[in-house]
Structure 1
């Protein structure tokens, strides 16, 4: 029996070191944030060169996100932990198709109305991770009562996600917003 112990230890060691990791996510390609930002930035510049959007001014955030301010708000800009109240219409920059809104009539007009959904002023906690990153970036840059448009590059939206058939992977998004207030 004592002679078999070294043999068992040897087999255990061989078994431990010959196993391959079984993490299914290790073989997935890494999302290229910088590459997609570069592509999206070029698309946004081209869009802004041709788009006819009235504005008071534009905020070009270092992240690549652009906020087009159409009506200036008042008060202090929100910080992490503030509850943001807003109305919005989300569309694709590429073709203008509306994919989401909190406004019932807009949803009906664009054939995206969902029976049973509660339409009304949308709210979220800034910095809580409950909305796309682009909203956390954009709403920090404007005051309550501001109306405008956020242009959000794909790395700060839904990246290469394929779970929503209305939003193709790596889409640049436009959000018309009416920043109603904060708590």
Structure 2
């Protein structure tokens, strides 16, 4: 009787172990994104870029997140808080080669061959902290006063990470956004 119970126990134990190693396990989501490693790599590339880039600025903010904010014209209004709606014009480009991948300014879209017929090229708005934009924007815009013109350098973990959904943005790209913070509600 004891031998039979021990056999059943080991059979159940082996069955559980075998099932948990199933290649179709829904809890196996693949490799985990290496945020710390990518931030470390990106910070070195950003430092190297800033040493050679000729960028006019009033001052630079090196946020603890790794985002660099280069203020080119200082606004005089207040800074936004979570829940504020931010209004801005922007041009997004890759730090690696300067190619423009997105903008809300029609003539810049046309000049960079990224114009999309029927797209709304008005001032872009988003609610700060609502997760409607990349995390880098939620971090950087908190540091800007309304009316500011700045260049945001965003490490890949606060941009599109290792996403392969946009053929203009390679995985783990460091992004640069030229922003003109028009105002907020």
Out of 64, 87, 92, the residue aligned to residue 85 of structure 1 is 87
Q: Quote the RMSD (CA, aligned, Å).
A: 1.9
Spell out the pairing of 1:10-159 with structure 2 (5 A cutoff).
14=12, 17=16, 18-20=18-20, 22-24=24-26, 26-159=28-161
* Helix, strand or coil at the partner of 1:142: coil
* Helix, strand or coil at the partner of 1:47: helix
* Helix, strand or coil at the partner of 1:106: helix
TM-score (norm. length: structure 1):
0.90
* Helix, strand or coil at the partner of 1:89: strand
Deviation at 1:27, TM superposition (A): 4.5
* Helix, strand or coil at the partner of 2:44: helix
- Gaps spanning 5+ residues in structure 2: where? 1-7
Structure-2 residue corresponding to 1:161: 163
After superposition, the Cα gap between the structure-2 partners of 1:25 and 1:165, relative to the gap in structure 1 and judged at 3 Å, is: farther
Question: Stretches of 4+ moved more than 3 A in 1?
Answer: 13-16, 21-25
The CA distance in 1 between the partners of 2:76 and 2:27, in whole Å, is: 46
